[in-house]
């Protein structure tokens, strides 16, 4: 039994390590933990070398712990750990498990490094208390400066690698997640009260002043380091070989925009490349340009506050009427569908059409089920336009026709029924879909949205209805309409990393002998819902919105949103 468990674990580890993506993720995680450990060690070093020997107090939990240490001789590491455990219990829901795991690691690591440095640096006095040596003599102000710089660098290494040392860092990370406020500024605001409390405790204004000096230097150092690494530059590249340079930059993971230009001196057409990259990528891009075209004309400018994919996110307050609304794109321009979705979801949601986001193409429906078709459309919008998206696909399934029209409902008149039914890939009924992305789907998702979409003949509503009625003559007329609604959300543009959900709605019914009106939308003129004697067209929009299969699916989507709130 033990051997089988051990072999199973070994096999799982081997499979994990054989995947290159898993290895890259593992390397990044190990890098994060290494720098969090280094940052925590630097911070703990500053506390024990510059703060405790000179009776200095900073902000945060360390500040509270040092005040209690000066008053009661309680160990700084113990007090720090107890307070952070209380804060972390509250923080898990807000910051997410990944952040909190690294924060927990940072808190434990800080507790241990504080204890280790105390035993390495301090001596035990005659009264049994720790005595810290003053390495800078009586230069308390210099201790403030060096302590602030050291602590700021330690905090930077933690924050830059998705970690935290706990305390007010947790509060700062929560605020920074939702507001356009720097981490240093938030920590500064939170810590003023803590440092000010030194005066009622010790009645020593110098201790308060030195505490504020240390805090300001620490905050300035943290902001400087974070902003330095997050600075961006904008390249304007004028070259006679623009395509090769553009391809080379794209391979680095950065985007390029190619603009049309004209050299006014020569009156010849030129291509101008524009690319924005991080400051630390500048030299590499410059070398790349020079290796391809050493005679290129290049303009480089600083780009402050770059927002978008691969850079920072905009964190500003929305207008009052939009502040409490969730924006969703519904992957359609059908006024009928949009009104139905907006009516069901209500005022809490800002539902936008494809036209509203500037999408002018049609995503091809080429998969084996309506669920996959809906997912493909929603993933495409998320991939190229960034919005959380809902998309739908609908099929009419007739028992007497072996499930047809099925996924071919909008192009029924153009298919050969016998060929479809005999094909091995035909999935016409409401079967379980496969969420794996096929190579064909990935090719679509990674194709430029400006490219010409696959041409599909569909929406010949009258032709579809006429063929359906002809094929059902003398046969069982029971049928159902099935709508699948796909929701794609998440921070990632990579379709493999999206969060996806499927909501199905199904309505049983029958097919009428003759259309109730001139066919204009789907099979509304011939489909009679179960429990009714009139077609969708005759029932009217209000009734249809209450009972339709799409209303059922969108209702499930709404319930899903409300449960997550």
318-336 b/e (C-beta count within 10 Å ≥ 16 → b): eeeeeeeeeebbbbbeeeb
Proportion of the chain in helix, strand, coil states, percent, rounded to 5 = 55, 15, 30
- 370 three-class SS: helix
CA distance 408 to 411: 5
Choice among 169, 223, 392, 393 that is catalytic: 393
CB neighbour list of residue 426: distance below 8 Å, 6 or more residues apart: 368, 406, 420
CB neighbour list of residue 456: distance below 8 Å, 6 or more residues apart: 362, 364, 365, 366, 411
- 133 three-class SS: coil
Order the strands of the 257-263 sheet from edge to edge: 257-263, 268-278, 232-238, 297-303
What single-letter DSSP state applies at residue 201? Answer: H
CB neighbour list of residue 210: distance below 8 Å, 6 or more residues apart: 54, 56, 140, 141, 144
- 492 three-class SS: coil
* Pair 91, 170: CB distance under 8 Å: yes
Give the DSSP H/E element, type plus range, for residue 131.
Answer: strand 130-131
* Pair 228, 160: CB distance under 8 Å: no
* Pair 435, 500: CB distance under 8 Å: yes
**Catalytic-residue membership of 542:** no
- 183 three-class SS: helix
The structure tokens listed for 113 are 């490094």
The structure tokens listed for 376 are 């493909």
* Pair 250, 256: CB distance under 8 Å: yes
Please list the active-site residues: 393
């Amino acid at each position: 039994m033990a051997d089988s468990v051990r072999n199973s674990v070994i096999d799982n580890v081997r499979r994990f390590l054989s995947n290159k993506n898993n290895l890259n993720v593992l390397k990044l995680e190990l890098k994060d933990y290494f720098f969090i450990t280094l940052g925590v060690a630097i911070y703990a070093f500053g506390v024990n070398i510059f703060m405790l020997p000179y009776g200095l107090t900073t902000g945060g939990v360390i500040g509270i712990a040092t005040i209690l240490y000066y008053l009661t001789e309680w160990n700084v590491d113990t007090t720090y750990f107890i307070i952070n455990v209380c804060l972390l219990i509250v923080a898990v829901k807000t910051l997410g498990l990944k952040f909190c795991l690294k924060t927990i690691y940072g808190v434990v690591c800080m507790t241990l490094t504080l204890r280790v440095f105390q035993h390495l640096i301090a001596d035990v006095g005659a009264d049994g208390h720790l005595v810290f040596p003053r390495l800078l003599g009586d230069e308390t102000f210099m201790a403030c400066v060096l302590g602030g710089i050291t602590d700021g660098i330690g905090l930077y290494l933690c924050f830059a690698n998705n970690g935290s040392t706990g305390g007010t860092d947790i509060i700062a990370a929560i605020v920074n997640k939702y507001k356009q406020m720097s981490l240093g500024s938030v920590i500064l605001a939170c810590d003023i009260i803590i440092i000010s409390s030194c005066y009622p405790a010790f009645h020593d204004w110098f201790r308060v002043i030195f505490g504020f000096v240390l805090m300001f230097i620490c905050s300035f150092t943290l902001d400087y380091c974070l902003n330095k690494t997050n600075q961006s530059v904008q390249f304007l590249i004028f070259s006679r070989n623009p395509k090769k340079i553009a391809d080379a930059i794209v391979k680095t993971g950065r985007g390029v925009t190619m603009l049309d230009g004209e050299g006014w001196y020569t009156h010849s057409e030129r291509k101008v490349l524009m690319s924005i990259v991080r400051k630390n990528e500048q030299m590499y891009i410059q070398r790349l340009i020079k290796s391809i075209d050493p005679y290129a004309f290049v303009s480089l400018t600083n780009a402050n506050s770059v927002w978008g994919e691969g850079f920072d996110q905009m964190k500003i307050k929305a207008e009052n009427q939009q502040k409490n609304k969730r924006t969703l794109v519904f992957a359609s321009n059908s006024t009928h569908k949009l009104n139905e979705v907006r009516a069901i979801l209500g005022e809490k949601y800002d539902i936008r059409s494809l036209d509203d986001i500037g999408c002018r193409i049609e995503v091809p429906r080429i998969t084996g089920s309506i669920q996959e078709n809906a997912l493909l459309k929603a993933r495409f919008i998320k991939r190229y336009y960034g919005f959380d998206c809902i998309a739908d696909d609908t099929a009419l399934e007739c028992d007497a026709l072996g499930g047809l029209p099925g996924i071919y409902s909008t192009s029924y008149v153009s298919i050969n029924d016998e060929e479809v039914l005999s094909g091995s890939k035909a999935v016409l009924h409401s079967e379980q879909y496969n969420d794996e992305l096929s190579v064909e789907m990935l090719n679509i998702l990674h194709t430029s949205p400006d490219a010409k979409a696959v041409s599909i003949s569909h929406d010949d509503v009258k032709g579809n209805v006429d063929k359906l009625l002809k094929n059902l003559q003398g046969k069982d007329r029971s049928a159902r309409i099935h709508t699948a609604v796909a929701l794609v959300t998440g921070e990632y543009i990579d379709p493999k990393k999206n969060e996806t959900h499927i909501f199905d709605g199904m309505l049983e019914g029958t097919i009428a002998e003759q259309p109730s009106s001139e066919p204009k939308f789907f099979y509304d003129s011939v489909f009679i819902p179960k429990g009714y004697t009139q077609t969708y067209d005759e029932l009217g929009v209000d009734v249809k919105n209450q009972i339709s299969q799409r209303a059922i699916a969108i209702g499930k989507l709404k319930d899903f949103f409300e449960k997550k709130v």
